[in-house]
Amino acid sequence: MSYNYIVTAHKPTAVTGCLTGNFTTPTDRNLIVAKNTRLEILTITEEGLKPIKEVNIYGRISVMKKFRYPNESKDLLFFLTDKYNVAILEFSAESSENFEVITRSHGCVSDPYARPSEAGNLVVVDQPKARVIALRLYDGLLKMIPLNREAKELRSYNIRVEEAQITDMCFLSSSSSDPVLAIVYEEQQTRHMKTHVIALRDKELMKGPWGQRNLDLEADMLIPVEDTETGVIIVGGETIVYHYGQDYICIQPSFLRTTKISCYCRIDNNRFILGGICGRLFILTLRRENKKVVSHSLDLLGSVSIPECLSYLDNGVVFVGSRLGDSQLIRMHAQEPFIEVLESYTNLGAILDMIVVDLEKQGQDQLITCSGQGACGSLRIIRNGIGIHELACVELSGIKGIWALRMNTAQLEEDTPTDDTLVLSFVGQTRVFNCSSTEELEQVTLPAAFDIDSQTFCARNVLGNQVIQVTDKRVNLISVTSKTRVDQWFPPEGEIITQCACNDVQVALALKNVLVYLEIRDGSLTEIKRTRLEYEIACMDLNTLDKEGDQTSIITVGLWTDVSILVLSLPDLEQLFRQELPKDVIPRSVLKITFEGSTDYLLCTLADGSLFYYHLASTGELTGQKRVTLGTQPTTLRKFRSQRTWSVFACSDRPTVIYSSTSKLVFSKVNLREVKHMCSFSSEAFPDSLALASEDEFVIGTIDAIQKLHIRTVPLGESPRRIAYQEETGTFGVIVSRSDMACSTRCASLDAPNKSNASPYAWHKDFSSFGHTQCADRVDSGIPSCSSTSLQRPPSGCDETFSLLIIDQNTFEVLHAMQFCPNEYGVSICSAKLGSDPNPYYIVGTAFINQEESEPKVGRIFVLRWHDGKLETIAEKEAAGAPYSIREFHQKLAIAINSTVRLYSWNAEKDLQSECTPFFNIVILHLKCLGDYILVGDLMRSMTLLNYNADITSLEEIGRDYQTNWTTAVEILDEDTFLAAESNLNLYVCKRDPSAADDTRQHMHEVALYHLGEMVNVIVKGSLVMAQPGDMPLPLNKSFLYGSLHGAVGVIVPIKQELYAILNQIQTNLAKTIKSVGKIEHGFWRTFLAERKIEPATGFIDGDLIEQLLDLPKEALESVSQSIKVDEEGGHQRNMTPEDLVKLVEDLTRIH
Amino acid sequence: MTSLPLMLDQLRSGCIKGISFSRARVTERQQSIEISKTSDLEACHKFPINALCLDPVEGRFLLSGGIAGQIFVHDTFEQSEGTLPVVAKIPHGTRYAHKYSVETVQWFPADTGTFTSSSMDKTLKLWDANRLKPVFLARFNGQVYKHHQSRVNCNLVLLATDESHAQILDLNTSSKTHMLSGAHTGKVRQCIWSPVVEHLCVTGGTDGRVCIWDVRYTRGHLAALDTDHTNQKKANHHRAHHDRIVSMEFSSDGLELLTYGLDHTVRIWDVALAKNRRINFGRISCASVKGVQIALADDGTTPVLFVPSGQSIRMCDTTTGVRLKNLRAHLDSVSAVVYCNHTKRLFSAGADRSILLWCSEAELEEDSKAKSEAIADRWSDSDD
């Protein structure tokens, strides 16, 4: 067996569908966006799109449609998944903040033996009468789901339809009693249109009122026109026809020939927006006379991301959902430019390749993905946590605290005053730096009013242009304008201040176990109350919550000895609540904060680096304790503001930023080794910065946008295909392609303005000469290589040009571009050191494409060296096919060429030399190497394991999976288990049995099966989080990452059997407890499903489900934890408590 | 034809679905199918072969039955020196073997634990595949020309026993439960269950009639297929072929039925509408009077039909009827072809007593290279 834990680290971002309608309330307009397995519900407001709910579906959303029952005031959502589950959802608004998703009815419409249509699933709803939903899922069958408002279950029946290849269909508005369905279908390479009347009572198809034979050969879209006459628009490859039964009107816009229309949305009865696959938007306008359409026209609007779906929101704003690029929100204008991009939503979509590199050498891996296509093509750098970009750095040791002050009198009246002074506190002294305008930090002396000979505990600007300074000996209140001390407060003789907390108007001081409460007035400090607590005070907090304004009525105090948190009321210092901490470690820092404007939290860190957090009620009561381990050292919490929201910075040996997202706390590591103290700081020279102090230096820097995974985009303007990293030269080698027809000749004739913002290199650098001259040079110089004549193939419609880019690892600047010959496809790249040669080389494999051949017969392998800013071709070898994969293997190269694996060694003449007998399969697409093993992923025949025998230099087959699986990525988990992803979106693991008898040894058995629902294009070894010593629950050094077509990144970690057993029980219980949207069973969703194989999932734990445990209420946790046993020391078994469960799952969430 | 690297890119960027990709590649492989020059099946039959069946689970074990009552099983995964070995044999004349010609062999549709065989000795045997002993035997009045075990309800066996009616045998109760009578004027020699609908089956007779039955329906057949389906007047005159039916096959979605008649034609029928799809395959000369096994490969972009025609196998596109290839290698008339959905290979058997393996060219070319190099290696090894 093989046991694995799989969890999504970055959810899919490619938009696969979108809809607008009044879903939540009869008046609100909503946008629903489908992203593979997720639904996002947003409300359209005047300020923009406001996300209100995110729903996970146990299935990939294939089609979603809105519809409305007659006499209902809200729209409902119908969706169909890839596994043919259907459901009707209602979004009900309990309050303006809280939305409930209700499954009105559900069902499954699969026919296990029917033949799924290649044209994809088509769904149409009969509107406005809402009598039936028609689906075309399988060739030759129309499926009808009769709609009934009361029915809980959706049942369907099939109607045999003679037209096997239907490309699109729609309902026509008609006066007849039965719905009329219009279809476009293909018959013997021609397309026709036909109408059918669906006789609902007899469940039969009747001949429809009209049809049209011999349409445009590429006619594949029907747009119904709601009208007095039943009209329909048929969009084809060259024509757009408006057809209304008796007659039709046809136009042939010139730009249709240059693009293919893939989606549309309706503005009103007369205007439609059409989106083309090369990323262009068009507007189709119908002109009417006497309510009769007399003509129509198509006009170009402009360029956007390659659209997958379009939704017209309101006021000329359109949502462009994209699968191959960032989705966009655009506004249309009446004048040029017609399109203005309002917002853009990051999409990693179509991750074709990725690598894990540790660029900063901090043990923190980053992921570089090849994302997007065409003009949306880019490299994305994905890093866990938040980056601090250093602006200034001073070496200073022993800093005990750091605060920013506004001392400049000139700007006191300004609305947004900027800080100009930094106060640094040390043992026994306080130093001040001025950083008002120059970029240099300059140590200054403070006015004498400040106490500089003692350690400052707190310094801040307070009410009435005053500054408060708290030291161990006294409290100073200083006027900013006069720079003089206006009031002072001393502790009683012989006592010193041990802790302090303050806000704009209040100050709390701790004198060992005495708590003193002061209030700041204009020009004075007044002691209001003093109380003696049971134990000495360890930490305090006076931060205000959002709803309280600038004064708080609650003070929280952490105590020594009994290790508890007290919540006291202000100003009378009465105890409101006492919370014992479950650990014998003293609290070091407490903090109150309001996240997302609504929820109040109390955070408390302990001296061992763990953090507890609670919901804070207005009565002071603390509920819902949760625990997270942040670091190993005492941790200090600081509140700071970034991008208009408050977040918390936890200063420790593993600095963390705490924020809230969709009412969940998120903990993001910061890319710094250690932070002891911090404060937010904004001066003219360093706007919106943070000041951070570590053991021996002091840094001013800016912080990234706050999100869990940080994604940086490097636009290329071409489609990146493959990437390799060469550490020695600090460069990336990226194979990119650009579609000449679509980008230059085709679209250049349309418009060119958008090109300038695509990529600086693609349009500014003319590198068209590179590849060709290089080829010519090489032939001239007589180096033996493939003769250029054999490579000169007639152009055969392959319209893509491939190049190799060398990109700098730090600046991501394109250093060099090498273009390959026409029809030459770059298919693989790797960086390798060969033989005893000390130089690193890029090895690039290309294939020559000929339209007549289904498999390439000729390819080339280049050995290239990047050196001194030049790319030098060291060797070039002709291959008898496409080198689909190249790997470094024992200082040699293992190359998969069509159906063979060959080994090449590097000889003294710097040339590749074929070595070793090749191994054969069907078409070998993937190679992975470990030790002497080479794992082979075949196009169709699953996986084969080869062993390299160095003594006789031969490859020997030692294991094979005999099942038919179309692999899309493979990986070696360990010596005996092998992971593969296949084209039906499943994952499976094969195991080799090295101890088996000789005749059965070669059979590898599938021991783990799982339906992922993501098309995995690449699996790499690596992890997104820093390996942390000791307490990680899962071995991160054996973690693997996958990248998918829809932009999801996930983590796969092999786990031990004991953990699997426990998690499996939790998973089973959770699947029962958590209600799924659409009532789809979790087990059904994860069932391995290929064309001829259905097997229940095994060997994989669905981490996405497991992590939902953390959101469960306590009662649900109780029921989940029932009957789950754990082994204790001494062989006993005991039941797991809900706390154990939460702890286990919280630990698991830290692997991503 | 799209080149593989291009298609892979389309798959990886989501421009085509996984199913379209695999179908297109399968079609491409089917079109380059040829006799395998490197692999063969261990010769075992000493008499002409009538029937073939591949196990439905993995497509691994190949059952073959012959004219003298012999039955053999090959393992098509295991390869020693390029030969697929025989793993089980019931030679003719042995204790349990059929006395006369075995006309049909079929694996149990759910696993490889049992298989059924029927013979001219008027019996049907249910075999334990591991012990190679019959565990059940049924006797009939007529010679069993064809039997078929339903995929949906595995216990029901439909039999064509050379009478004017077909019979249904329930293996659960070991009893003959149904007689499908009243539709044929000639003798029923072909029969098949629908792969999808539990109660639907089809019979074909020497009278050229093909009748569709619902076994729950007591008043005769549902429909008799008619070539021109204009002939509405008398249902009794409906003829699917002008001569006897020699083979029938359902598409795997159960929507279409293919029939092959001694009138040298192949027809495709829409089962639900009982209508001729009118796809013209041209003349496919049929040599066998008894019955043959045709194969439909519908895992590609377009379904492909393999029809034994004399010594060759005709390969046709079922959407257009166009002849794609004529596979010639057998030395005598071909009686059965089976297509493996799992490995995308084709097996054929005939009166020349051999089972042949057909696969895609690309694999073949490389295989031969591998073999020759392997041989070369062995030579050099022995020199040392």
Per residue in B53-68, pLDDT tens? 999 888 899 999 999 9
Contact A81, A55 (CB under 8 A): no
Selecting from A138, A854, A917 the residue whose C-beta is nearest the C-beta of B4 gives A854
| Chain B residues 248-267 with a CB less than 8 Å from chain A | 251-256
| Strand-pair category, B40-41 with B83-84 | parallel
Comparison of pLDDT for A708 and B188, the residue scoring more: B188
Quote the DSSP letter at residue A1136.
P
- Rounded-to-integer distance, Cα A397 and Cα A395, Å: 7
Residue A88 pLDDT > 90, yes or no? yes
Backbone dihedral angles phi then psi of residue A548, each to the nearest 5 degrees: -90, -5
| Chain B residues 313-332 with a CB less than 8 Å from chain A | 319-320
Selecting from A847, A852, A966 the residue whose C-beta is nearest the C-beta of B5 gives A847
Residue A1092 pLDDT > 70, yes or no? yes
Residue A775 pLDDT > 60, yes or no? no
Confidence of residue A396 (pLDDT cuts 50, 70, 90): confident
- Cβ separation B255–A140 shorter than 8 A: yes
* CA pseudo-torsion sign A1079, A1085, A1087, A1091: positive
Residue A657, pLDDT score:
87
- Rounded-to-integer distance, Cα A347 and Cα A16, Å: 12
Helices (H) and strands (E) in chain B, counts: 3, 30
Residue A755, pLDDT score:
35
- Rounded-to-integer distance, Cα A891 and Cα A413, Å: 69
Q: Which helix (H) or strand (E) holds A1121?
A: helix A1114-1121
Interface check B344 vs A, CB under 8 A: yes
- Cβ separation B1–A852 shorter than 8 A: yes
Interface check B273 vs A, CB under 8 A: yes
Contact A435, A421 (CB under 8 A): yes
- Rounded-to-integer distance, Cα A31 and Cα A313, Å: 8
Q: Which helix (H) or strand (E) holds A1082?
A: helix A1082-1086
- Cβ separation B367–A141 shorter than 8 A: no
Per residue in A40-67, pLDDT tens? 999 998 888 888 888 999 999 999 999 9
Region B11-30 average pLDDT: 90
- For a pLDDT cut of 90, what percent of chain B falls above it? 61
Selecting from A352, A898, A983 the residue whose C-beta is nearest the C-beta of B22 gives A983
Contact A29, A43 (CB under 8 A): yes
Region B332-360 average pLDDT: 93
Taking one residue from A and the other from B, the number of pairs with CB-CB distance under 8 angstroms is 144
- Cβ separation A1045–B2 shorter than 8 A: no
- Gyration radius (Cα) of chain B, Å: 21
Mean pLDDT for chain B overall:
88
* CA pseudo-torsion sign A1045, A1048, A1054, A1056: negative
| A567-576, A624-633, A1010-1019: segment of lowest average pLDDT | A624-633
Q: B206 vs A182, A740, B141, B246, CA distance in Å?
A: 43, 62, 18, 8
Q: A1098 vs A846, B44, B218, CA distance in Å?
A: 39, 41, 46
Q: Which long-range contacts (CB under 8 A, 24 or more apart) does A899-904 make?
A: A899/A923, A899/A924, A899/B362, A899/B363, A899/B366, A900/A924, A900/B366, A901/A927, A901/A934, A901/A936, A901/A946, A901/A955, A903/A948, A903/A953, A903/A955, A904/A861, A904/A877
Q: Hey, which residues does A335 pair with through a beta bridge?
A: none
Report angle CA A776, A779, A782 to the nearest 5 degrees.
150
Measured between its terminal Cα atoms, the distance across chain A in Å is 25
Per residue in B282-295, pLDDT tens? 999 998 888 899 99
- Cβ separation B8–A925 shorter than 8 A: yes
Residue B81, pLDDT score:
73
Interface check B17 vs A, CB under 8 A: yes
3-class SS letters over A901-913:
EEEEEECCCCCEE
Residue B29, pLDDT score:
87
Region A1064-1071 average pLDDT: 92
Region A745-751 average pLDDT: 35
- Cβ separation B196–A1045 shorter than 8 A: no
| Strand-pair category, A4-10 with A1100-1102 | parallel
| Chain B residues 58-117 with a CB less than 8 Å from chain A | 58, 60, 77
Q: Please report the domains of chain B, with CATH numbers, ordered by start residue.
A: 4-383 (2.130.10.10)
CB atoms within 10 A of CB A782: 7
CA distance A23 to chain B (A): 30
Q: Give the E-state strand segments of A950-1036 in sequence order.
A: 954-960, 967-972, 977-982, 986-991, 1005-1011, 1016-1021
Residue B250, pLDDT score:
95
Closest listed residue to residue A1109, CA positions, set A669, A664, A708, A631: A664
- Rounded-to-integer distance, Cα B200 and Cα A286, Å: 51
Closest listed residue to residue B247, CA positions, set B228, B229, B267, B227: B267
- Cβ separation A962–B77 shorter than 8 A: yes
Confidence of residue B265 (pLDDT cuts 50, 70, 90): very high
Contact A128, A69 (CB under 8 A): no
At A1073, list the tokens. 């407890």
- Rounded-to-integer distance, Cα B256 and Cα B248, Å: 11
Helices (H) and strands (E) in chain A, counts: 11, 89
Spell out which residues of chain A touch residue B273, defining contact as CB-CB under 8 Å: 160, 162
Q: Tell me how far the alpha carbon of residue A113 is from its chain's centroid.
A: 36
Q: A222 vs A54, A195, A491, CA distance in Å?
A: 31, 12, 83
Residue B315 pLDDT > 70, yes or no? yes
Interface check B186 vs A, CB under 8 A: no
Selecting from B1, B19, B77 the residue whose C-beta is nearest the C-beta of A118 gives B19
Closest listed residue to residue A330, CA positions, set A290, A394, A383, A283: A283
Tell me which residue has tokens 């000895």: A561
Residue A438, pLDDT score:
58
Residue B91, pLDDT score:
93
Residue A776 pLDDT > 50, yes or no? no
CA distance B148 to chain A (A): 18
Spell out which residues of chain A touch residue B272, defining contact as CB-CB under 8 Å: 160
- Cβ separation A847–B270 shorter than 8 A: no
Q: Where are the domains of chain A?
A: 718-748+765-920, 1062-1149
CA distance A663 to chain B (A): 34
Per residue in A375-391, pLDDT tens? 889 999 988 777 788 88
Region B216-230 average pLDDT: 83
Comparison of pLDDT for A360 and A276, the residue scoring more: A276
Q: Which residue of A has its CA nearest to B272?
A: A160
Highest mean predicted confidence (pLDDT) among A602-606, A1124-1128, B360-364: A602-606
Region A1063-1075 average pLDDT: 91
Q: Which residue of A has its CA nearest to B360?
A: A922
Confidence of residue A791 (pLDDT cuts 50, 70, 90): very low
Spell out which residues of chain A touch residue B6, defining contact as CB-CB under 8 Å: 798, 825, 849
Selecting from B13, B362, B366 the residue whose C-beta is nearest the C-beta of A352 gives B13
Comparison of pLDDT for A473 and B201, the residue scoring more: B201
Residue A437, pLDDT score:
61
Query: In b/e form, how buried is each residue of A414-442, taking b as 16+ CB within 10 angstroms?
Result: eeeebbbbbbbbbeeebbbbbbbeeeebe
Secondary structure class of A742 (helix, strand, coil):
helix
- Rounded-to-integer distance, Cα B47 and Cα B67, Å: 6
At A477, list the tokens. 């209140």
Residue A504, pLDDT score:
87
Task: Tell me which of A84, A858, A1091 to substitute to probe the interface with B (most B C-beta atoms closer than 10 Å).
Answer: A1091
Residue B42 pLDDT > 60, yes or no? yes
- Cβ separation B370–A323 shorter than 8 A: no
- Cβ separation A162–B320 shorter than 8 A: no
Q: B202 vs A348, A654, B147, B371, CA distance in Å?
A: 53, 73, 12, 46
Interface check B198 vs A, CB under 8 A: no
CB atoms within 10 A of CB A132: 19
Residue A300 pLDDT > 70, yes or no? yes
- Rounded-to-integer distance, Cα A365 and Cα A1021, Å: 11
Contact B144, B123 (CB under 8 A): yes
Spell out which residues of chain A touch residue B196, defining contact as CB-CB under 8 Å: 111, 113-114
Per residue in A904-931, pLDDT tens? 999 888 888 888 767 777 889 999 999 9
CB atoms within 10 A of CB B2: 16
Q: Hey, which residues does B250 pair with through a beta bridge?
A: B257
Region B246-255 average pLDDT: 93
Comparison of pLDDT for A442 and A815, the residue scoring more: A815
Q: Which long-range contacts (CB under 8 A, 24 or more apart) does A131-135 make?
A: A131/A179, A131/A200, A132/A179, A132/A198, A132/A200, A133/A65, A133/A67, A133/A78, A134/A169, A134/A171, A134/A179, A134/A181, A134/A198, A135/A80, A135/A109
**Mind giving me the DSSP string for A369-387?**
EEE--GGG-EEEEEEESB-
CA atoms within 13 A on the CB side of A512: 7
Those residues whose C-beta lies under 8 Å from the C-beta of residue A622, and which sit 6 or more positions away, are A565, A567, A577, A579, A602, A614, A615, A616
Q: Which residue of B has its CA nearest to A325?
A: B13
Quote the DSSP letter at residue A97.
S
CA distance A92 to chain B (A): 34
Interface check A951 vs B, CB under 8 A: no
The CATH architecture that domain A1062-1149 belongs to is Orthogonal Bundle (1.10)
- Gyration radius (Cα) of chain A, Å: 33
Task: Tell me which of A1092, A1093, A1094, A1095 to substitute to probe the interface with B (most B C-beta atoms closer than 10 Å).
Answer: A1092
Mean pLDDT for chain A overall:
85
Region A241-257 average pLDDT: 88
Residue A433 pLDDT > 50, yes or no? yes
- Rounded-to-integer distance, Cα A67 and Cα A121, Å: 18
| Chain A residues 686-725 with a CB less than 8 Å from chain B | 719, 721
Backbone dihedral angles phi then psi of residue A672, each to the nearest 5 degrees: -125, 155
The CATH architecture that domain A718-748+765-920 belongs to is 7 Propeller (2.130)
Q: Which residue of A has its CA nearest to B29?
A: A854
Contact A1075, A1113 (CB under 8 A): no
Confidence of residue A422 (pLDDT cuts 50, 70, 90): confident
Predicted-complex ipTM score: 0.87
| Strand-pair category, A366-371 with A1093-1095 | unpaired
Residue A766, pLDDT score:
34
Residue B110 pLDDT > 90, yes or no? no
- Rounded-to-integer distance, Cα A205 and Cα A181, Å: 10
Q: A566 vs A23, A577, A1082, CA distance in Å?
A: 46, 6, 44
- Rounded-to-integer distance, Cα A736 and Cα B74, Å: 49
Confidence of residue B72 (pLDDT cuts 50, 70, 90): very high
Residue A394, pLDDT score:
82
Per residue in A446-492, pLDDT tens? 777 788 888 888 888 888 788 899 988 889 898 888 888 888 888 88
Secondary structure class of B363 (helix, strand, coil):
helix
Q: A793 vs A737, A738, A741, A771, A824, CA distance in Å?
A: 19, 19, 18, 16, 10
- Cβ separation B21–A114 shorter than 8 A: no
Task: Tell me which of A60, A162, A352, A920 to substitute to probe the interface with B (most B C-beta atoms closer than 10 Å).
Answer: A920
Region A738-759 average pLDDT: 42
- Single-letter residue type at A350: A
Confidence of residue A1000 (pLDDT cuts 50, 70, 90): low
Spell out which residues of chain B touch residue A923, defining contact as CB-CB under 8 Å: 4, 362
Residue A1036, pLDDT score:
65
Residue B70, pLDDT score:
94
Selecting from A138, A141, A917 the residue whose C-beta is nearest the C-beta of B373 gives A917
Per residue in A1003-1050, pLDDT tens? 888 999 999 999 999 999 988 876 554 455 666 668 899 999 999 999
Spell out which residues of chain A touch residue B317, defining contact as CB-CB under 8 Å: none
